[in-house]
A and B are shown apart, each in its own frame.
Chain A
């Protein structure tokens, strides 16, 4: 491979990762507030279809993206209403919505299948795009890719460096304590779940109006992406920067799979496409195993220098979910 081709491939990785970045950041924000939005796989499909259909109808890309955000926010609102107001199981509601939204996307999207649609135009950033290597790699993509760079530090700063962000951590970690300090826990949870849903809702239109432009029903190749995004959220340890790293790593591995395929003729392309999954399971295992009891017990039996090494290693990898993730809050 020439350097040129590698550069082009890596630039492609950044573009294809953009929708996933929005999905993972949106889910991270929602889960930080204590609400799992398991509907993501369906939401991405429905917003991809909806964004594309609205764009075809109105002729406006902006309306397409806004429609995606609205649909994502609405689905999240159902999750919030079911789990916060009605105290039903979050996982159950989200899972059902994942299936309903997927089938709705295929059903409603049927007449839009294969239609010619608009595509988000490229937008080279002046001056920056002229820098050799860095320019073509980072700064000659489209608007949504640039926004995907921006939302990562933005979410990080919001969660870790601002007052409302501190409150966000509180309602997900120790809602009772946050309540005592004057937070309206359930209203804030509604807000962040819907906000997260709106951000997730951008992922679909980015696919259907840019990365994989068009709507092709079941062969759009979008089914399953939401489940991957959920796994990456966990891998990211509910930290936007670590989550974004997971997204880029995943996109990079999929690209690598495509690149390596010609040199591995016996392996069908479908296998290489899913190659990141076993790695993902391994990653989840590494992230979580430090939390289990038997590991703690085994570590206690090791000689001291070895124990210190492993404890430090596991602690560096470990990620614990927000303390109140998935549990309803009652102020009574």
Chain B
């Protein structure tokens, strides 16, 4: 058993080496010094306290959205609509903040209500994709994709229409909220300790939910074999919808955090691709909640580190995306190769 774990680990390490090798080749092909590029990514992500706090700012949404995706993944669902769920969360949060910003309620209460609304918004959007799947027979990949585009259109319509800045609407988003409606920040940094706390709290909650509860076990049963789960008396439709509800709620929370703790307004690309990146994280950790935090941290560091590249090396910052994606691809391919090899050995003995 332990030997097998070592083999698995060796193959995963091999995948990491291959991914780095591939990215290095690409860098060489574009006539860049790979060491320079990697050096700037490292300096750009952990070179200073300020840089590292920026990594944390990127880590929080990735952690939240990935933990939600862990639930939908476990239920066997490809929640590609997650980008739209983040967006709807942000929209709902902005809506409540706008509604209550003139009221006499204390700011803390307003922020809490706005975040709650964000979770509901994300959950509602996810349930739409869920209902399309369970009652309409529309695959969640295609329903979700369509809803992503609709969510983007909704954001643009709000920014250029009813919620436009005094004067004229612009791509820079809605009018920023006053400081009193921001989540408390660490002075001098862009990081909110509250947001970090929420992120850590929810990944722990999801860890225990999936590992130690009846609910988590049933979700996994539905994901492993939906027909068998149904025959064993699990109300599968309800559990699929619950998985969408939870996953969407956490995606909505991600959007709410982006509005209250990062941008302080609604911007056109509020989801910033965290939904799709979260899907990569969830695939890489292979349903294990324990690994979500370190992988999300690594991905966030790559994201922030690569911001330097266009400035110092005239490279596109999508290098981080290439490295992240290729890493997941090689992990999957190496896993397939490992299974093929061990199967052959097992068959021979």
Chain A interface (Cβ < 8 Å from any Cβ of B): 38, 78, 81-82, 85-89, 91-93, 95-97, 99-100, 102-104, 106-111, 217, 224, 227, 230-231, 234, 266-268, 270-271, 273-275, 277-278, 280-281, 284-285, 288-292, 294
B322 beta carbon closer than 8 Å to chain A: yes
User: Contact residues of B with A, CB < 8 Å?
Assistant: 26, 29-30, 78, 80, 132, 135-139, 141-143, 145-147, 149-150, 152-153, 156-157, 160-161, 169, 276, 279-280, 283, 314-316, 318-319, 321-322, 324-326, 328-329, 332-333, 335-337, 339-340
Partner pick for A88 among B26, B135, B314, B332, CB 8 A cutoff:
B332
Task: Please measure, in the bound complex, the distance between the C-alpha atom of A275 and the C-alpha atom of B149, giving whole angstroms.
Answer: 9
- The answer to whether A285 touches B328, judged by C-beta atoms less than 8 angstroms apart, is no
In the assembled complex, the Cα of A267 lies from the Cα of B156 at a distance in Å of 10
- The reply to whether A231 and B142 contact each other, CB–CB distance below 8 Å, is yes
Partner of A97, one of B146, B321, B324, B329: B329
* Cβ contacts under 8 Å, B333 to chain A: 81-82, 86, 88
B276 touches A294 (CB 8 A): no
Please determine whether B153 and A270 come into contact, CB atoms closer than 8 angstroms: yes
Distance of A217 from chain B, by nearest CB (Å): 7
Contact check, A294 vs B135: say whether CB atoms are below 8 A apart.
yes
Q: Is the CB of A285 within 8 A of B339?
A: no
Query: Nearest-CB distance from A294 to chain B (Å)?
Result: 7
Q: In terms of DSSP, what is the predominant structure of the interface of chain A? A: helix
Residues in B whose Cβ lies below 8 Å from that of A275: 153
Determine the residue in chain A with the shortest Cβ distance to B147: A281
The answer to whether A86 touches B336, judged by C-beta atoms less than 8 angstroms apart, is yes
Residue pair B160, A107 in contact (C-beta under 8 Å): no
Contact A82–B160 (Cβ < 8 Å) = no
Contacts of A291 in B (CB 8 A): 137
Most B-side CB within 10 Å, residue of A104, A267, A275: A104
Chain A contacts of B156 at CB under 8 A?
A: 268, 270-271
CA distance A107 to B169 in the complex (A): 31
Shortest Cβ-Cβ A-B pairs, 7 listed? A86-B336, A103-B321, A100-B325, A288-B137, A103-B318, A274-B153, A270-B156
Specify which chain B residues have a CB less than 8 angstroms from the CB of A91 in the assembled complex: 78, 141
Residues from chain B with a CB closer than 8 A to the CB of A294 are 135
Tell me which residues across on chain B come within 8 A of A290, comparing CB atoms.
137
Give the docked Cα–Cα distance between A99 and B275 (Å).
12
Min CB distance A47 to B, Å, is 17
List the A residue with the shortest CB-CB distance to B334: A86
Q: Is the CB of A289 within 8 A of B283?
A: no
Tell me the complex Cα distance, A230–B315, Å.
31
Q: How far is the CA of A102 from the CA of B340 in the complex (A)?
A: 30
Contacts of B315 in A (CB 8 A): 107, 110
A301 CB to nearest B CB, Å? 16
Nearest to A321 among chain B residues (CB) is B139
Whether the Cβ atoms of A96 and B132 lie closer than 8 Å is no
Chain A residues within an 8 Å CB radius of B314: 110
B316 to A: closest C-beta gap in Å = 4
Determine whether the beta carbon of B142 is less than 8 Å from that of A96.
Answer: no
B329 contacts A93, CB within 8 Å? yes
12 chain-A/chain-B pairs, Cβ below 8 angstroms: A86-B335, A87-B336, A95-B279, A100-B326, A104-B26, A231-B145, A267-B161, A277-B153, A281-B147, A284-B143, A285-B136, A289-B137
Do A284 and B146 touch across chains, with their CB atoms under 8 A apart? yes
CB pair B30 A88 closer than 8 Å: no
Q: Is the CB of A92 within 8 A of B149?
A: no
CB-CB nearest in chain B for A234: B142
Q: Min CB distance, A121 to chain B, in Å?
A: 31
